[in-house]
């Protein structure tokens, strides 16, 4: 504790404000930012969760042993454990917005690589997407209070808590054969 009663240690620093003091008159619109945060949150889970229902078809299409299938489903979980702790440091160093942008680009790149031909690219794409998702899972909830006031933050947090169930339902409906 410091003399002012504040706990010691670094905090995640993000941009604040309505945009009036930002260069070139850039303004933040809470609805658009909320939509971006919600879309980021919705797109983090299907990349990992959609593999299980189609794993038998994947094993038939890609020469993948039982061990390879187990590693394929375990790799994102390993990434979650290893890389989730890195997310706050990245956000402190680079800012939440650029890191979240990089997360979404890495998820898209990982998914694109994953569908290319061959088991090596399947694993590389899975690890890239899983690592990005690990960082995004930590930063998306942290971004909400920084970008929005309490009036918009509360409904967004409700959505972020509710959406995994809806996404799981849609994932099972869409990706299962």
Over the stretch 129-140, which tens digit does the pLDDT of each residue have?
A: 999 999 988 888
Residues of the chain with pLDDT > 70, as a percent, come to 71
Task: Say which residue the tokens 């690890």 belong to.
Answer: 127
Give residue limits of the domains in the chain: 28-175
pLDDT band at residue 121 using 50, 70 and 90 as cut-offs = very high
Res 22 pLDDT > 50: no
CA-to-CA dists, residue 144 to 100, 134, 149, angstroms: 12, 17, 9
Question: Over the chain, what is the mean pLDDT?
Answer: 76
Mean pLDDT lowest for which of 71-80, 89-98, 150-159? 150-159
**Given this model, what pLDDT does residue 112 score?**
92
Assigned CATH topology for domain 28-175: Growth Hormone; Chain: A; (1.20.1250)
13 pLDDT band, cuts 50/70/90, is very low
Q: With b meaning 16 or more CB within 10 Å and e meaning fewer, what string describes 26-37?
A: eeeeeeebbebb
Better-scored residue on pLDDT, 167 or 84: 84
Of the candidate ranges 22-31, 52-61, 152-161, the one whose mean pLDDT is the lowest: 22-31
Q: Which of 165, 142, 153 is nearest to 31 (CA)?
A: 153
Q: Examine the pLDDT at 128 and tell me if it is beyond 90.
A: yes
In the predicted model, is pLDDT for residue 111 greater than 70? yes
pLDDT at 149 (0 to 100):
64
CA-closest candidate to residue 147, choices 12, 13, 11, 16: 16
DSSP state of 115: T
- The pLDDT, as a whole number, for residue 138 is 86
């Amino acid at each position: 504790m410091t003399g002012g009663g504040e706990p010691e240690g670094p905090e995640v620093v993000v941009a604040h404000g309505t945009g009036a003091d930002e260069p070139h008159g850039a303004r933040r619109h809470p609805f658009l930012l909320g939509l971006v945060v919600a879309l980021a949150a919705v797109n983090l889970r299907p990349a990992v969760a959609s593999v299980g229902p189609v794993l038998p078809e994947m094993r038939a299409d890609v020469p993948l042993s039982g061990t390879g299938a187990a590693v394929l489903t375990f790799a994102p979980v390993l990434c979650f454990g290893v890389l989730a702790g890195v997310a706050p440091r990245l956000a402190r160093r680079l800012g939440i917005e650029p890191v979240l942008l990089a997360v979404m680009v890495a998820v898209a790149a990982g998914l694109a690589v994953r569908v290319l031909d061959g088991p090596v690219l399947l694993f590389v794409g899975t690890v890239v997407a899983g690592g990005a998702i690990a960082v995004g899972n930590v930063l998306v909830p942290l971004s909400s209070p920084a970008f929005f006031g309490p009036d918009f933050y509360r409904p967004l947090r409700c959505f972020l808590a509710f959406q995994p169930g809806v996404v799981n339902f849609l994932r099972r409906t869409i990706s299962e054969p």
